[in-house]
């Protein structure tokens, strides 16, 4: 399954939520998520270059339990082949990833509200260290034109009064990794 998403930085999530309500979009209660993202043998170069074929592993913990996700980048960082499954014991799974030569490199902590905008999933995120974002994503067949889908998604967000000028092409993990490098260089 292919996941194509667009992401915009948002100044006022409450105002966006009100617009979504007028469109019949019902958002979930806020869910606290803690993501741990792993790289192979501590290789952090994927957050410096992100290119087709890169693989990212994630364990996400939230109020509902834990989920393991593996993503392989296709045309860009927000266009991926994605597989995920619930895991019963995240600590055991973490140890298995260590044994396979993966290391935890980035942590993303956020509060998320989810809903449906038509057939697409919309997420309003408050991300520690980064600020507020809206994500709109669509699960598609593997052979779709990702640019066409992204254009449709941007169009939906623009119909809500948002601007693609606020687009963010990097995942939260990449943004946090790059922010940590900037902070380290200032020490």
Domain 2-185 sits in CATH at: 2.40.320.10
What are the tens digits of pLDDT across the range 11-61? 999 999 999 999 999 999 999 999 999 988 767 777 777 678 888 899 999
Rounded Cα distance between 146 and 152, Å, is 10
Q: Does position 127 have pLDDT exceeding 90, yes or no? A: yes
What are the tens digits of pLDDT across the range 131-169? 999 999 999 998 999 999 999 999 999 999 999 999 999
Residues with Cβ within 8 Å of 8's Cβ and at least 6 positions away in sequence, in order, are 133, 134, 157, 162, 163, 164, 166, 167, 168
Please indicate whether residue 171 or residue 44 has the higher confidence score (pLDDT). Answer: 171
* Cα radius of gyration rounded to whole Å, the chain: 17
| Predicted local distance difference test score (pLDDT) of residue 76 | 79
Closest CA to 77 of 185, 146, 170: 170
Q: What is the mean pLDDT of residues 118-137?
A: 97
| Predicted local distance difference test score (pLDDT) of residue 146 | 92
Give the CB-side neighbour count of residue 112, counting CA atoms within 13 A. Answer: 21
What are the tens digits of pLDDT across the range 77-105? 777 888 999 999 999 999 999 999 999 99
Please indicate whether residue 183 or residue 143 has the higher confidence score (pLDDT). Answer: 143
């Amino acid at each position: 399954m292919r996941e194509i998403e667009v992401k915009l930085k948002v100044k006022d999530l409450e105002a966006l939520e009100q617009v979504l309500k007028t469109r019949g979009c019902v958002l979930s209660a806020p869910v606290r998520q803690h993501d741990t993202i792993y790289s192979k043998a501590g290789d952090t170069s994927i957050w410096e270059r992100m290119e087709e074929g890169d693989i990212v592993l994630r364990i996400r913990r939230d109020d509902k339990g834990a989920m393991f996700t593996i993503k392989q980048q296709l045309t860009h960082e927000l266009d991926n082949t994605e597989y995920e499954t619930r895991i019963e014991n995240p600590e055991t799974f973490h140890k298995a990833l260590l044994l396979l030569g993966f290391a935890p490199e980035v942590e993303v902590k956020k509060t998320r509200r989810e809903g449906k905008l038509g057939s697409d999933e919309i997420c309003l995120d408050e991300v520690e260290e980064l600020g507020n974002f809206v994500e709109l994503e669509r699960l598609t067949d593997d052979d779709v034109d990702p640019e066409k889908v992204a254009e449709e998604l941007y169009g939906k967000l623009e119909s809500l009064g948002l601007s693609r000028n606020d687009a963010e092409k990097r995942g939260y993990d990449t943004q946090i990794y790059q922010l940590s490098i900037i902070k380290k260089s200032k020490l």
